[in-house]
Structure 1
Amino acid sequence: MRYETRGEVPAKRHVQVRRDGRLLVEEVLGFEGFSGNESILYHRHSPCRIKEVGTFTPVVREEWVPDTHVHRLTDTAPIPPGGDWLDGRRLLQFNGDIEVSVCKPTERRDGFYRNGEGDEILFVHHGTGVVETIFGDVPYRPHDYVVIPRGTTYRVEPDPGSGQVWLCFTTPGEIETPKRYRNRYGQLLEGAPYCQRDFHAPRELHDHAAEDGREHELVVRVRDGYQRYVLDHHPFDVVGWDGYVYPYTFNTDDFEPITGRIHQPPPVHQTFQGQNFVICSFCPRELDYDPQAIALPYHHSNVQSEEAIYYVDGQFGSRRGVDVGMITLHPSGLPHGPQPGLVEASLGVRRTEELAVMWDTFRPLRLTTLSREHDQPGYALSWSRDPETVG
């Protein structure tokens, strides 16, 4: 990301800074020790200050180990809304590099949260609101990726009545733009499917000094669990910051699809990279323009990766019986491609209005009992001749 600054920061690092005669507390929030990207924040209070230490709750993952190894379809639409923006996240898939959850929050949560062991992405399928953070407010809208780096204290304020549906990613690694999109200085290249202007950093900071003295709950994810604390001051006490680490949004409407005379491989849709996985955005676009081109993906084998796709909007040309809100999982070791009859039906089609989010992992994905509850077992047979349904 590019350099950003908000509020008041001094001309030099690690020097005295005062507000109302009081010395501010400098915090360096950085990656890879002191070798990676960092931001410097100036607090009214020490970020170490807590009033009480609460309970520690381990993360519980209820795994489903299927009896068979097949292509799978999960329908998330029937998952009922409920919970808040943190406790309402319901885990579907995971491995050592990524957790994928669906969240349909309906309740308000007054406390604050910080992921101390990984980066997060909230993909907003439906809903509007604001992610309030120590870096400032990050408004969100449908089809936004909200990228939240580890160490960011935040809370979410969904707009009332906006019907929230999110796809949530958590990783112990870093979320970043693909290296091949960047030059040696870190700037996005002319050939990348987006530019720096498409990434939206936090807006203005808010001074919550008047709320000091009130108690606030802070939940921190650490050591594969959730540690609770009680603060005697508002955690959003930052009066200024600058650097390269901060939350931001990117909307799929700003993704510029890379197309060609013949079909382009899935990496052209890549949007982010993480530790042993990538995230891609299949957006509305013009299709291949050679008269002999086949616009749908060719059959391919995921020999060393797992491919999962969440369907956001439109009709996905290579799938029959897959609706909005469903997730296809094509596991390693099995070839997959368009279902029978769909290649012929696509010939001559020059545009698609589909929108989907894909994550490819390079280690096998494990499933939860929630995936079992919403599994559509007929999908594995949908490459048979003229299937009527996949459920």
Structure 2
Amino acid sequence: MAHYRTVGRIPRKRHTQFRRDSGELYSEELAGADGFSGDSSLLYHRGTPSAITAAEQWEPGDPSVVPNVPLLPRHLRLHDLFRASTADIVTGRRLVLGNADVRISYAVAAEPSELYRSAIGDECVYIEQGSGVLETVFGALDFRTGDYVLIPRATIHRWVPAEGATVRAYIIEATGHIGPPKRYLSRFGQFLEHAPYCERDLHGPTEPLLRTGADVQLLVKHRGTDGITGTRYLLPTHPFDVVGWDGCLYPYTFNIGDFEPITGRIHQPPPVHQVFEGHNFVICNFVPRKVDYHPLAVPVPYSHSNTDSDEVMFYCGGDYEARRGSGIGLGSISLHPGGHTHGPQPGAAERALGAERFSETAVMVDTFAPLGLGAGGLACEDPDYAWSWA
């Protein structure tokens, strides 16, 4: 996210002496991407960011997936996964779909999480419902319904739901980085005029979040020899001891309501709805908008064959016209896999003729490798969806 910010106190020149009033040096930490060849930020700690006093294994949940065999379109009812809120967004998330590039989970939480960092990749968390604060080593971020919360890999953070609030979170975990599509950016990283959002719509930390404490626990999810595993560390001091930082790598929020939809006389293809991209996957969103205005336009999507990708649609607002009669509703996921032709439900095209506006809200993930089903996905599947076109 190449948009420079500076927060708190920093020295005039990087990698030079920066001292506390007592004369002690602050500890400088480089948070960087792509092996010193990508975006980065410099953080200045009161303590030593690498200090640990104990470590033990921590299991971050069942990481296994089973193949989508036989190859079927699937309907998953995420709201059926939780009858009550779970402990927190970190330990309470349940894996729904995944492959080697991206993993999609869901959580319903009312409690603060422990301190957590993912050493696997960036996380993009869509807030389906609720509000609260994401506390991070960079500072605090308020979040609310409709926010995407982008968290760079290895950022120490903690989810704190608002008092009395239940947060429903749709979690997209990458094995690399997530950011705006390159076609939206100039060669220097500025958003271009044709982009459906810009820097003004992105909200990063504005001041340091200073915390004190001793013997602080931190959960870290990371790679093991046999896949994903985790470690619980004990830290001698609180990691939220950063007095200032600057750079282009940091967490931020973007609300889906600030996405400006691109429309046309006839039906527009999914890439016009793209909001972010990662390695071997893209994230799109469908928002309330005026629809096709050619006098003979058919506003709902045409049938299409996913020859290169699996399409995952999370329905989180309004009425999705193309899926009427399929059983899909709010909180549903549809998985339309590569190798299967899919399109609107029977009768949807005729019903949509003459429509001037759609009120739907949905988050779509297209992957370029097949997705398997996690335990959460298997637990909430609608077994009748595959036959709904017949």
Output the TM-score relative to the length of structure 1.
0.95
Which 10-residue stretch deviates more, 223-232 or 360-369? 223-232
Q: Deviations over 1:2-21 (max 9, x none)?
A: 10010001111100001122
Q: How does 1:349-388 map to 2 (within 5 A)?
A: 349-384=355-390
Give the structure 2 partner of residue 175 of structure 1: 178
Q: Does 1:333 align with 2:339?
A: yes
Give the structure 1 partner of residue 278 of structure 2: 274
Count of aligned pairs: 380
- SS state of the match for residue 79, structure 2? coil
CA contact (8 A) 1:128 1:140 kept: yes
- SS state of the match for residue 253, structure 1? helix
CA contact (8 A) 2:94 2:375 kept: no
Give the structure 2 partner of residue 12 of structure 1: 13
Q: Which amino acid aligns with 2:4?
A: Y
Identical aligned pairs, as a percentage? 47
Pairwise CA distance, 1:62: 3.9
Give the structure 2 partner of residue 203 of structure 1: 206
Pairwise CA distance, 1:160: 2.1
Q: How does 1:180-259 map to 2 (within 5 A)?
A: 180-208=183-211, 211-212=212-213, 214-223=214-223, 224-259=228-263
Pairwise CA distance, 1:56: 4.3
Rounded Cα–Cα distance in structure 2 between residues aligned with 1:203 and 1:129: 16
Give the structure 1 partner of residue 132 of structure 2: 129
CA contact (8 A) 1:71 1:328 kept: yes
CA contact (8 A) 1:126 1:162 kept: no
Q: Does 1:98 align with 2:102?
A: yes
CA contact (8 A) 1:59 1:226 kept: no
Cα 1:324–1:372 change in 2 (3 A) is: same
Pairwise CA distance, 1:100: 0.3
Q: Which amino acid aligns with 1:171?
A: A
Give the structure 1 partner of residue 89 of structure 2: 85
Output the TM-score relative to the length of structure 2.
0.95
Give the structure 1 partner of residue 269 of structure 2: 265
Q: Which amino acid aligns with 1:277?
A: F
Q: Deviations over 1:96-152 (max 9, x none)?
A: 00010001013333x311111210011000010000001000110001000000121
Pairwise CA distance, 1:57: 3.3
CA contact (8 A) 2:112 2:158 kept: no
Pairwise CA distance, 1:65: 4.1
Which 10-residue stretch deviates more, 218-227 or 125-134? 218-227
Q: Which amino acid aligns with 2:360?
A: E
User: Where does structure 2 lack aligned partners over 5 or more consecutive residues?
Assistant: none
Q: Which amino acid aligns with 1:216?
A: V
Pairwise CA distance, 1:369: 2.8
Q: Deviations over 1:354-375 (max 9, x none)?
A: 0000000000000023222211
Q: Deviations over 1:335-380 (max 9, x none)?
A: 1101111100000001011000000000000002322221112111
Cα 1:273–1:3 change in 2 (3 A) is: same
- SS state of the match for residue 128, structure 2? strand
Cα 1:354–1:141 change in 2 (3 A) is: same
Give the structure 2 partner of residue 387 of structure 1: none
Cα 1:62–1:28 change in 2 (3 A) is: closer
Q: Which amino acid aligns with 1:319?
A: R
CA contact (8 A) 1:279 1:360 kept: yes
Pairwise CA distance, 1:53: 1.8
Which 10-residue stretch deviates more, 375-384 or 174-183? 375-384
CA contact (8 A) 1:310 1:326 kept: yes
Rounded Cα–Cα distance in structure 1 between residues aligned with 2:60 and 2:360: 39
Rounded Cα–Cα distance in structure 2 between residues aligned with 1:51 and 1:304: 48
Cα 1:173–1:354 change in 2 (3 A) is: same
User: Where does structure 1 lack aligned partners over 5 or more consecutive residues?
Assistant: 385-391
CA contact (8 A) 1:149 1:246 kept: yes
Q: What's the RMSD between the two structures over aligned residues?
A: 1.2
